[in-house]
Amino acid sequence: AQTKFLHSSHNPSSPDMDQHPLIRKNIRPLNVAGHYISPFHDIPLKVDSKKENLFNMVVEIPRWTNAKMEIATQEPLNPIKQDVKDGKPRFTANIFPYKGYIWNYGALPQVLSPGEVIHVKILGILALIDEGETDWKLIAINANDPEASKFHDIDDVRKFKPGYLEATINWLTYYKVPEGKPENKFAFNGEFKNKAFALEVIKSTHECWKAMLMKKCDRGAINCTNVQVCGSPFHCTPEKARSLVESVSSKCPRHPLIV
């Protein structure tokens, strides 16, 4: 199903932050029927069930930008919003010679490992150890990229884009150092695993997500409210979804998000 995005101008985290000139406002997706949906739960993982390696990707942070946007997993319908720490919006520092994030950064929907929706081909995966926890980083290419037909696995990145994987390791190692945090480490000695390995990780995390949406495992603090997952005990009507959104943004107009 097609998904378009609206930009909500309301920031419920702090009344003082509504006027902050640098705050990126909440992003809430609508389906083609104009109903609010969750970018975490309601967007299908795969573009076409018959195509093994064509996935939907929710872009949280566009390339070369600094605002730390992410899916708010603990909020109803999981808007994409700027992370806040100590009452201040978070930005990722520039790591010379890079400006902001060096790729379009985001998440696959309907996976439990935890913008615009694009179709991507998975090429490989990297296991980042972020503050003691494994944080899988998928390597993918936009399926509509003019060069996409040349890329089938992680070795093709080395062949056709020399230096990209090395830059990725370098950036992920140091991007939290300006915040006073230590360098990040990697599992498998920083080795990029291939497409087959990545698809197995996606399959495993998708199964965990399905168990959570069907209340078969502990969901912790994750909000599982959804509009389009039939049979889920957390399913709600489009009217209820709109009511949830408007309960926090009824005083603020909504404007189209242009990206």
What's the CATH code of the domain at 10? 3.90.80.10
- Is 47 inside any structural domain? yes
At residue 106, does pLDDT exceed 50?
yes
Q: In this predicted structure, what is the pLDDT of residue 73?
A: 92
Residue 58: inside a domain? yes
Residue 259: per-residue pLDDT: 26
Is a pLDDT exceeding 80 seen at residue 111? no
Q: What gap in Å lies between CA 17 and CA 203, rounded to an integer?
A: 39
Between 219 and 154, where is the model more confident?
154
Amino acid identity of residue 108, one-letter, is L
Q: Domain count for the chain, please give it.
A: 1
Asked whether residue 41 is domain-assigned, the answer is yes
Residue 194: strand pairing partners: 124
Length of the chain: 259
Residue 252 confidence (pLDDT): 44
Q: Is residue 177 part of a domain?
A: no
Residue 249 confidence class, pLDDT cut points 50, 70, 90: low
161 lies in some domain: no
Q: Among all chains, which residue has been given the structure tokens 């290419």?
A: 141
The pLDDT value given to residue 115: 63
CA distance 195 to 175: 25
More confident residue, 233 or 219: 233
How does pLDDT run across 174-193, given as a tens digit for each residue? 999 999 999 999 999 999 99
Residue 9 has pLDDT above 60, yes or no: no
Q: How far apart are the first and last CA of the chain?
A: 20
* Mean pLDDT lowest among 4-18, 95-109, 145-159, 223-237: 4-18
d(CA 172, CA 48): 31
Quickly state the pLDDT bin for 31 (edges 50, 70, 90).
Answer: confident
What is the structure's pLDDT at 3?
Answer: 43
Buried b (16+ CB within 10 A) or exposed e, 210-229: bebbeeeeebeebbbbbbbb
The residue among 4 and 206 whose pLDDT is bigger is 206
Question: Does 60 score more than 50 pLDDT?
Answer: yes
Q: Could you tell me if residue 18 is inside a domain?
A: yes
Q: Is the distance from CB of 40 to CB of 232 less than 8 angstroms?
A: no
How confident is the model over 142-165, as a mean pLDDT? 97
Evaluate if residue 206 carries a pLDDT over 90. Answer: yes
Token representation of residue 241: 């979804």
How much is the pLDDT for 32?
A: 67
pLDDT of 94 above 90: yes
User: Is there a contact between 45 and 14 (Cβ–Cβ < 8 Å)?
Assistant: no
223 within a domain of the structure (yes/no): yes
Q: The domain containing residue 43 runs over which residues?
A: 3-123+139-155+192-256
In a domain, residue 80? The reply is yes
Q: Which pLDDT does position 137 carry in this prediction?
A: 96
Q: Helix, strand or coil for residue 29?
A: strand
- pTM for this structure? 0.81
Residue 7 pLDDT exceeds 50: no
